[in-house]
Amino acid sequence: MTQILQPQPIFLKDYQSPDYLIPRVNLEFNLDSEQTIVRSNLSLKRNQNTPENAPLVLNGGDKLLLVEVKLNGLKLEPNNYKITESNLIIPDVPQAFTLEITTKINPAANQSGSGLYQSNGNFCTQMEPEGFRRVTFFLDRPDVMSIYTTKIIGDKNTLPILLSNGNLSAEGDLEGGLHYATWQDPFPKPCYLFALVAGNLGVVRDSFVTKSGREIAIAIYVDPGNETRCQHAINSLKKAMKWDEDVFNLEYDLDQFMIVAVNDFNAGAMENKGLNIFNASLVLADPQTATDDNFLRIESVVAHEFFHNWTGNRVTCRDWFQLTLKEGLTVFRDQLFSADLNSPAVQRIHEAKFIKIVQFAEDSGPNSHPIRPQSYIEINNFYTSTVYDKGSEVIRMIQTLIGPKLFAAGIAKYFELYDGQAVTTEDFLNAMHLASGLDFTQFQRWYDQAGTPICAVELVFDQEQATCELIVEQSCPPTPGQEEKLPFYFPLSIGLLAPDGSEIPLVLSNQSLGTTTNLVIKEQKQRFLWTEVKEKPVPSLLRNFSAPVKLQYDYTLEELLHLLSYDTDLVTRYEAAQRLTHQAISSLENDSEVAVDVEKIVTAFAGLIGDSSLDAAFRAEVLTMPPLSAIVESMNPIDYERADRGREALITILAKGTYETLVKTFGELLPSLEGAYSIQPEVMGKRALKNTILGYLTRIDQDFFDLTFSQLVKATNMTDEYAALRILVNYESEKTQEGLRLWQEKWHDEPLVMNKWFQAQASSRLASVSMVTVLANNPYFDKYNPNKLRVLYRSFASNPLAFHKVNGEGYQLIANKMIEIDSYNSNIAANLATCFYQYQKLDSVRKELMRNNLTRIVNSEGISPGVYEIISKTLGDK
């Protein structure tokens, strides 16, 4: 292509320690919407091994307005330094010195969600990964750690609240209606953990007493009026504080912990030291405006950011290639926490489902990368499901391999060795090795090799010998830049079910291993011979989703039905249901060689739905059909229409075939859901099952369609209200239009609730380019709000039938929007760019249409390096 200056990747292998260190940072912000003055007073010193003549190269660049720079108190003249596109270079500096740098920035004009910007008139920051360089010239890299003092000056009237990291050390009034606050953070930190917030905010306070008896002041800051929606976040935070002490012996270290909710935020939330900043959608909750899923998500994200205080802040990353060091580990910690608070099996089913649908797709697409990438153009593109969620699975495998006790010892070792440092994933494995004695050399491949391993299992039963042999073979398909893969090291959890449904005691080389055991897989091919197996068993494989691999086994329909009835591991039991639906869907579209007896599946599902001894949340999951993106996974080329026909046919067959059970179960659930709204796991499970059943019944029974409409109108909680909306939007009906109109009338002043309204429509079966265009012109849409961009464009581009419409208008719309958004928020634009990931697997007509748009994007002037990186990889020209 004719891109003149193609952005260049940076490589992990080129890592070098910083030439200069910055032990102390003094910042002063004079806040003003359009002209904020930032004074940065730095103490610098040359690093060991840095040659004497090494220039000081700070990140910043010619778009950041430099007012003045002084070295050891003396003002530098322009011929003493150089400013390039991305650096301020001072060629001649002593061994130790101070720099005073004054910059001027325009927060009001900053729509990027990075650096210092304004949201609803409030000032806030987002520095991770590389936002600090938009505020002042600095060594913007995580291995430069400093002690920060921050003075904030602002208008007392409009900015009564002035916050930064650490402890408040001084505050007071100044002339001209101004006031100030000075914050000191005693812990050294990289600049990506710096935060500043200033505005007119309401506050909700609480406190927590740590295990050593210190009282921590908790404060949550929100837009005035939202104070009543903070209790759930507070409860979640206090549970997380206690949990981290109980499970990992980790106590909070500052005297106060603050959370700020902001409306405009690129990601979910950010773990800035002592001052977490959250997307308001992940703080605010009450029964009327938040769904059960929102409540659960808030609980886990509040915990996640809090847990970062140790895994991420006290021990941080040496460089951004190590991102999974803090993210994989912290996701794993928040998952353990959520499992302890809710149903562990259902929690695990959600995790496994997410990995399979989202992460496996990423792993088999153009942006496939290992959890620790070897190169990047734009680090923002690597905040991925692979780094976060597969990263968590990798940590989980370590815990499975060495056991929870040694794992906790490994975590203790990690802090003993590396507290206060910026380290690598090898350092983490070293701590685990020292605590457990396990050799992690082969395990390290999980960090370096991309792609999803395939674990193929065969079973050979010998009636005479009463033995059952499991033959396990692993392989991994090539990914971009990695043709050959070496065998992975992982635990494969298994059980064997007898024909009567009981669990067979596992005996291997005369050793009794109970009824569930972890096989350690490390060779390309391994055999395990189980003795004392008298009848041919049905293997239950990859129990509890013990490794992020694709499990292949040639299950017959009968074997899957057997697992669905008897498996004691709910994750593999759920998986059996998924396999059955996949088989049925391809059989209904004549995709498979053998016709599947769908009637048997219907009967089994009916039994399961009506089985009130099973967790309602589990039954709701079983009833939820896999999304189209999962169904097309095995197709080449992809045929969404056919997958959709099969899926829709199966849902209707299931609805009709289980009608009586559905109606009966629905009727039984209703009374138990009356009364005050509760977020106890059992109650949430019942609501989920009730609403899933409602979706089935609505499609075959007009009475239930009417009931869905009246649920929308009469609901007293958002879970039911939104569930009804999500069902209605798939039907072309006056009631649907009426429901949408009523929603807007009722909720137009609540941006978070309006997000649901946009999302439901953009994700619906009726979504189209013209609908999206109308929605984008809705007065409550805001193209500068990242949440709004996500719920409209990202939802649409993840809605295959609409996005991949064969006239190409979906591709064109998203390409146009992406180019437009890229001009002010390249982070969100690059995220939208990943929606084209199926390009190589499309039929020739769609592929051509998509290619035209992709080439148009890479050739459009001034496109950001982040978008360039994703799109050029999608096109396959590296």
Instruction: State how far the alpha carbon of 871 is from the alpha carbons of 7, 480, 815, 832, 838, in Å.
Output: 13, 14, 11, 10, 12
**190 neighbors 316 (Cβ within 8 angstroms):** yes
- Calpha distance 255→167 (Å, rounded): 7
Minimum gap (Å) between residue 383 Cβ and ligand TRP: 4
Minimum gap (Å) between residue 124 Cβ and ligand TRP: 11
The residue type of 96 is: A
Phi, psi for 547 (deg, rounded to 5): -155, 150
Sign, CA torsion 48/52/54/57 = positive
Minimum gap (Å) between residue 84 Cβ and ligand TRP: 24
Q: Which of these is catalytic: 100, 128, 305, 378?
A: 305
Cβ closest to ligand TRP, residue 326 vs residue 690: 326
Q: Among all residues, whose Cβ is closest to ligand TRP?
A: 267
Q: Which of 728, 783, 717 is nearest to 753 (CA)?
A: 717
Quote the crossing angle between the two packed helices 557-566 and 570-588, to the nearest 10°.
150
Sign, CA torsion 530/534/538/543 = negative
Minimum gap (Å) between residue 106 Cβ and ligand TRP: 20
Strands ordered across the beta sheet of 178-189: 74-75, 65-71, 96-105, 36-46, 20-30, 146-155, 178-189, 167-173
End-to-end CA distance of the chain: 11
Binds 185: which of ligand TRP, Zn ion, none (CB < 5-8 Å by kind):
none
Cβ closest to ligand TRP, residue 262 vs residue 346: 262
Binds 376: which of Zn ion, ligand TRP, none (CB < 5-8 Å by kind):
none
Stretch that binds Zn ion, among 326-334, 543-551, 704-712, 816-824 (CB under 5 A): 326-334
Minimum gap (Å) between residue 17 Cβ and ligand TRP: 23
DSSP 350-410: HHHHHIIIIIHHHHTSTT---SS-SEES-GGGG-SHIIIIIHHHHHHHHHHHH-HHHHHHH
Phi, psi for 817 (deg, rounded to 5): -65, -40
Neighbour tally for 62: CB within 10 Å: 12
Cβ closest to ligand TRP, residue 116 vs residue 455: 116
Sole residue written with tokens 């330094």: 81
Helix/strand/coil percentages in the chain, nearest 5: 45, 20, 35
Stretch that binds Zn ion, among 325-333, 620-628, 707-715, 754-762 (CB under 5 A): 325-333
Cβ closest to Zn ion, residue 164 vs residue 330: 330
Burial of 374 (0-12, 13-18, 19+ CB in 10 A): middle
Minimum gap (Å) between residue 839 Cβ and ligand TRP: 24
Minimum gap (Å) between residue 327 Cβ and Zn ion: 5
Residue 305 a catalytic site member? yes
Neighbour tally for 185: CB within 10 Å: 24
- Calpha distance 271→194 (Å, rounded): 9
Neighbour tally for 454: CB within 10 Å: 14
Binds 128: which of Zn ion, ligand TRP, none (CB < 5-8 Å by kind):
ligand TRP
Cβ closest to ligand TRP, residue 324 vs residue 380: 380
Minimum gap (Å) between residue 267 Cβ and ligand TRP: 3
> Length of the chain in residues, anyone?
878
Cβ closest to ligand TRP, residue 359 vs residue 581: 359
User: How many amino acids of this chain bind Zn ion (CB under 5 A)?
Assistant: 2
- Site residues, ligand TRP (CB under 6 A): 126, 128, 266-267, 269-271, 304-305, 327, 380, 383
Cβ closest to Zn ion, residue 154 vs residue 328: 328
Cβ closest to ligand TRP, residue 54 vs residue 267: 267
Cβ closest to ligand TRP, residue 304 vs residue 445: 304
Minimum gap (Å) between residue 359 Cβ and ligand TRP: 16
In 729-783, where does DSSP find H-type helix?
Answer: 734-747, 751-762, 769-776
- Contact positions vs Zn ion (CB under 5 A): 327, 330
- What positions carry a catalytic annotation? 305
